[in-house]
Amino acid sequence: MARGENKMKKLPKTISEAEFLEKLRAIKKPQLKLAFMLGFYQCMRVSEVLNLRPEHIDRGRGFIHIIAGKGNKDRDVPIAKPVSRGLKYLPINYTRQALYYASVRYFGIGFHGLRHSGATMYLNEKGMSLREVQQLLGHARLSTTQIYTHITPRGLKNRFDDIW
């Protein structure tokens, strides 16, 4: 491969919201459950979840203030309703490695796969625009967000049926 060419990377496996919720029920530890919900519903990176503190939650405005995400950029994201009650369990006292292995154990995908799954859900099932998901993920470039999105065969078929 010539220098500067993009390598084709395999995208992480994703799970649906129904699969996520079904597997989430098996988790009894509130902090672990919250960490996974932040990864899926808030589409947060593992480092962002581990750095999240109670003072970063603005319940009055309904936002989570993510400090120094990738590229050392801050961003505000709306609090997803399913996540709201669990925020009382902050901070998350797990290591990056522990969250990765627990994610594989419970969901069959790494923690980053939860972020991909959440982005895919917002686009394909919740009707968010690519631009809105870009803001949620904290991407500077729309092309990066496009990599994070997965179109399920069922979703494509449903859309096709809607058109015709």
Mean pLDDT of 84-109: 97
Is 5 exposed, middle or buried (CB count within 10 Å of its CB: 0-12, 13-18, 19+)? exposed
* Residue of 93, 84, 94 lying closest to 41 (CA atoms): 84
Of the candidates 41, 94, 115, 122, the residue annotated as catalytic is 115
* pLDDT tens, position by position, 7-21: 455 666 889 999 999
Mean pLDDT of 63-79: 82
* Residue of 13, 143, 11, 137 lying closest to 69 (CA atoms): 137
pTM: 0.83
pLDDT confidence of 98, banded at 50, 70, 90? very high
List, in sequence order, every beta strand (DSSP E) within the chain: 57-58, 63-66, 75-78
Express as a percent the part of the chain with pLDDT over 90.
59
Q: What is the pLDDT of residue 2?
A: 46
Catalytic site includes residue 65: no
CATH T-level fold of 17-163: hpI Integrase; Chain A (1.10.443)
Of the candidates 23, 65, 112, 150, the residue annotated as catalytic is 112
* pLDDT tens, position by position, 103-147: 999 999 999 999 999 998 998 888 888 888 888 888 777 777 777
Catalytic site includes residue 56: no
Catalytic site includes residue 96: no
